[in-house]
Structure 1
């Protein structure tokens, strides 16, 4: 393992780390120049070289690494990862025992004690996600630890740290047996087609599980449903199974058509009876307004950042204006599912976008329900930004 480095923490940040803050960020370090190779073990120390915490150096978004332990006598070795995995798996026992759901997250980064690393489960197959070159240096430990504490059909990995922001093209299979193509898994009794070796995205975002279930069980029956930024149509599938009168799925990616059609088919729904549109969502809104289209349930779950031919979208700057377009094509008395995974602003700021959007249109609204990350996406109180998901069910009142 690479030689350990002591990082001097500036006085005003010492209590923050003692209170359990896990992200090592540039502004907190006095001797940042001593960091050379990602994967280096770092000890956070004060001006008197007294130990504060231990972690690793690995660039991820705005961070320079993650704290792994506040115990000076704890080594970052195989036994460290085994212990972390055992605790995390024990917290997901009810998910492993759920006959209606066999896909979920079993290890959630800093929430389970190792920032930069997540592990997901798909009916016997595990997928390890590496978010920095730093955590990837511990690859052998992580894989051996996972193998030692689980029974599995196969293990895959995803490298998510390419410097160009593009997924590294590779064979993601590690060990065991290869998964069927596609692998059919279940979430609350609904089928998903998962592709474990076709790039970074496997076919569904697991953090929206409770939102999808709520859409199916409470808001879809007899409704005209619009699903924007629909990806592989997961929200649309749940809406249709909940008795929606019609579903319209809109996404710019060409793959959204075959992937959404596949999801309809494996759930016994004829995709020819549903509307799947491959188009720029921003362009579709203009079309819907021009044609005076109205929907009873509109789902708005854009990426934090999106770029199309004619428009660049950033959630922290543009969500309010995007929401206004959705409000205009929502029936009076209809419901908007407004969602964001952007960690740059908190829930109160998100609610202010909603308030401002309706105010500027001179319309009233009521928040019916709120959701954040589900239980398997474990977070910690000392790192609020880790609880990134914000979802509001909003009723347009007039």
Structure 2
């Protein structure tokens, strides 16, 4: 489906500032969302399967070895650990599970662990399966498909004209080659970016139309959550009404894409998260992000239910990667016992049912980078909010993406 608005109209809508005008735009985007998807939803969760020490210089990312920011650091998880996180995601109400690793490629050993993790998730859960493991060839993409992966995530991050400010070690055209490889392998594509990296409104429109030309199945929208000690660490948060406006604009430019809001939504949107859902979202990244915490699963589910949207689990997650939980589609299904107790854990224990959910607060362990952090390849400094920069550079013992 072509965009519902022209580039010129998108630029005009980008100038809106009055809440009443933005709310009118939201109603327009909400109508477009309902026309294509009805009341279906597509809620995701991820596991940061390999974290920290990335060799690339992306200016937003605390995992970069060129950033002074502290970050969770651990080697590649074992396949059984990936499955444990997937089971927790399913119990929390997710429809989809993504295995994410830092960096722009994996060793053969680590790639095999992702493949085996995907097989286990396919065999032991009813989750749709995604992977985000950096650049890849058609051959590797086909291996992922054979292991049960249905969709591969690989962001363009920002508009092509602004991209050199974001990364100098990961080329924009390289990202496009990976997306082409994923599509050639017969997999769905998940391609989005980050707002508030310093791009202009014109460049946001540029990115949206570039995404429209790629035509991905899924478009994740991230909002910069400035991490002290990164290139963009001193940026201000985005105005929540500005966030809502741009979600609506992106929806009108990409009417058939599955939109989800991911990193930075709690920090940037605050109480306007539900309005952002109405601006055209199909889902959110539930529970946690790569290096920061999000809403609780119950809060996320409530945001969608309050708008009359259906968050029921899909009957055929493994077979049908598109949303398939419109109201009425699950009539006659066997009741899900776990569903009854998601918000009443004590009642579940009294009934003899154990529900284990991943607690990001206890699993996101932060560690300092090793040795002295090298200078960024682009020569830009790492930045900190005013008055918060440590007196000495971060140094400790050494060590090694993200959605």
TM normalised by structure 2 equals 0.29
CA radius of gyration, larger in: 1
TM normalised by structure 1 equals 0.30
Say which structure, 1 or 2, has more relative contact order (CA 8 Å, 6+ apart): 2
When you count strand as a share of all residues, which structure comes out higher?
A: 1
